[in-house]
Structure 1
């Protein structure tokens, strides 16, 4: 009972396991009961098998810890029912759809998933219905117990004072940087050249002279090159470019789209298969090259911005909102969270080293290539740099406060279990008496109302 928040986080994984059929387990029997919720021996050992398939570390006496996780979840579900913290049908369907989409993505398509599982998508969905529902109910109950807890500075100090000084964490040097990014616009002639290339690829596929997959492996300019441009997409997911989704879902199976432009470049898409809002597509993206003239123009623009930043007539946040083409930066004022230097992109690290940037400096405009292989020009702002150091309350208050709050939540959850569980009917099978972590559960079982 000492790690109930960790237990709770892990027990949600119980609902996330994907069962490869058929499973081989020992003869089944009931090994635990909480109220009217039963736990089968197969629930415990199948979860161990699932974690092995996911190549997760399996601790000694794994069955002890997994049974505790499931007992905890069942208790939270039981109380959620009593407190009417139910899951609506629409909410459950959305959770199930998200889970199935994740599996489709993981296994490379709907057909592969059904083949590996030996079951249809509908059957897989039904297999998960109860466990997903209970997982969400347990999450709702946990949030009711600890979701509103806050931590005061005095509590943080008390937590800090109890940490043995020889076990304080060591932090490497971290930097906090911001960026103002401009993506130069390619010339119309180069855009036309890319469109003509893609139209030629489309004609080659439609005439049967080439397979779409072959062309994608040769020419697409993104991370899907090795898989022939193949992707699993969903019409409702917000992280996809709307233009891309709209053009993809206009297609029938085995059809190739016209050339279209998204915010990433120019595309053609091949619809491999689709089912409702889910689809497996292949695509080829071509990104028009940027000439020296366009880069020079972007550099000149950012030189002007940098001069205003140095003069103090423009704040960094104002400059980001007014000039930056990076959509994500609009929500963060152009800043990234503190990271160690090795977590920055290689081009930024090289630039900062060559120019010997100091805290408060704004770099000169420099060219870079982003993770989508798109060429841009940016100003980098070095807001802060910490020295390697042993954890202390002054420099690392937020980190310490976060851990102190988690400890407070853990204690609240343990207190809740201690007060609630004895009021439920509880049984834990004698096969698990060797599990030291279940001693409290056996104690509760002995006091439970029969």
Structure 2
């Protein structure tokens, strides 16, 4: 049963296989497995493989066997979760669906392209995925419940480390823990007023029929993401990635109407409503970011320089300084530290932006950079103070430098063993049916042994 329960490696059942299937002849679907009242279709396996390939995952020769094993394990845990009255909220599923749709849109270029390729609207795609997302989340919560009491001791970590042959210990590249304090210099009031006046002038020109909104957007917007499309965006009222002020201003408009000038966290805007259909809308906007003068930049540099003096002198800790002074709202939840995809603070150099990498060359562990002036992803000027907490050199894993990593691996192995024990006790209690197609899969031997037809 080992690894049947490691559902993190399993793409959402169904995946985006339905999109690729548009370009292939599809045989009639069939039931290839049943666990309790949960069925597994051949398309579940096929589409999961297609989705894994789309994500660039390398698949072993026995991919169908492994995926079938994982799908069956997920069904079993969903069954138990339902018996144990474990629930997932609609809000949680909605948030995960939104993230998935954003990923699809990024892959295919636009919402329209996704809908055209899939042959479905975004809402229909969400409906297609909702049940599989719910099952995946129920299975995750069930696994968490089964292993919630699993702990690891230093003795167990050492035993886990000692049993790994020395030449098979993982090799780690240089890793760093990096934090930063960010200041967004505030433009003076005169330049903010000038940006607002520019936008009001553009609004008047369009309303008077002198210019087209998209022409002005292409010429004058400070938003690089929409400059080449005449300021156009497809938005949805419920999508969380949009600035709330932007959404509020947009959905007050009727078709063709232009908003008053308003402020968001990015700068000042005007929006034109192109068309609206319920919570979906097509809009154009012009963004003006008030210019930051040398005076504002110097003020921010001086502030961060004074903070650096306090940090170096030990008068304030880095976490406290972040809490007090950073303008990066997200950093306040991470104590200013950069996080990787797995929420680890240990990052390789290629996971950092070039400005940070350049500063790290001059820093030793525990040191702070001088304030540096750079730009963020939107092009706004910012001032940053970089903190290098730790740096490791390339090396084979050892307990001194990599205890936490070894502990993570050790506890995962212990959780796997607990899950294997759980499955061994639960499989005989489930109604199980498997198609003979997977009879030669060694991974599925326990499932066939407990299949109803074999009892």
TM (norm. structure 1) is 0.85
| CA gap 1:187/1:262 in 2 versus in 1, 3 angstroms | same
Query: For 1:159 and 1:213, how far apart are their aligned partners in 2?
Result: 65
Pick from 255, 258, 267 the counterpart of residue 256 of structure 1.
258
1:182 match: 183
- Report the counterpart of residue 359 of structure 1 in structure 2: 365
For 1:93 and 1:324, the matched residues in 2 are separated by 31
* Separation of aligned partners in 2, 1:411 and 1:278: 48
Which shifted more, 183-192 or 47-56?
47-56
1:362-381 aligned at under 5 Å gives the runs 362-381=368-387
**Residues 1:439 and 2:445 aligned together:** yes
Cα deviation for residue 392 of structure 1 reads: 0.9
Q: How many residues align?
A: 446
Q: Which deviates the most, 411-420 or 125-134?
A: 125-134
Partners of 1:120 and 1:380 in 2: how far apart?
45
**What is the match of residue 33 of structure 2?**
32
Counterpart in 1 of 2:342? none
Change (3 A) 1:398 1:126: same
1:348 to 310, 331, 356: 356
1:4 aligns with 2:4: yes
Instruction: Please give the residue correspondences for 1:304-315 in structure 2 after superposition, counting only pairs within 5 Å.
Output: 304-315=306-317
When the two chains are superposed, the root-mean-square deviation of aligned CA atoms in Å is 3.2
Tell me which of 330, 333, 336 is aligned to 2:335. Answer: 333
**CA 240–153 in structure 1, closer or farther in 2 if over 3 Å, else same:** farther
Is the Cα contact below 8 Å between 1:4 and 1:410 reproduced in 2?
Answer: no
- Where do 5+ consecutive residues of structure 2 fail to align? 339-344
Deviates more, 1:141-150 or 1:273-282: 273-282
Matches within 5 A, 1:122-141: 123-141=124-142
Match of 2:393 among 387, 393, 399: 387
Residue equivalent to 1:321: 323
1-side partners of 2:447 and 2:369: how far apart? 60
TM-score (norm 2): 0.85
Q: Deviation at 1:161? A: 1.5
1:314 positional shift: 3.3
Cα separation, 2, equivalents of 1:365 and 1:90: 41
C-alpha change, 1:364 and 1:78, in structure 2 (3 Å) is closer
Task: Measure, in 2, the Cα distance between the counterparts of 1:50 and 1:368.
Answer: 39
Q: Which digits, 9 at most, give the CA deviation of each residue in 1:210-257, with x for residues without a partner?
A: 352772486333444455544454444555433222222222344332
Matched residue of 2:451: which SS? helix
Aligned to 2:73: 72
The 3-state SS of whatever aligns with 2:286 is: strand
Residue-by-residue CA offset, 1:165-196 (whole Å, 9 max, x unaligned): 11112222233233232222222332233223
Cα displacement (A) at 1:34: 1.6
Distance across 1 between alignment mates of 2:257 and 2:10: 43
Distance 1:64 1:105 in 2: 31
Could you list the per-position Cα deviations for residues 295-341 of structure 1 after superposition, in whole angstroms to 9, with x for gaps in the alignment? Answer: 22222333333333333333333333333322233233333333233
Unaligned runs of 5+ in 1: none
Output the CA distance in 1 between the equivalents of 2:88 and 2:316.
49
Question: Mean Cα displacement is larger for which, 277-286 or 102-111?
Answer: 102-111
| Structure 2 Cα separation of the partners of residues 14 and 217 of structure 1 | 45
Query: Which residue is 1:407 aligned to?
Result: 413
Residues 228 and 282 of structure 1 are in contact (CA less than 8 Å); yes or no, is this contact kept in structure 2?
Answer: yes
Matched residues in 2 for 1:143 and 1:296: separation? 50
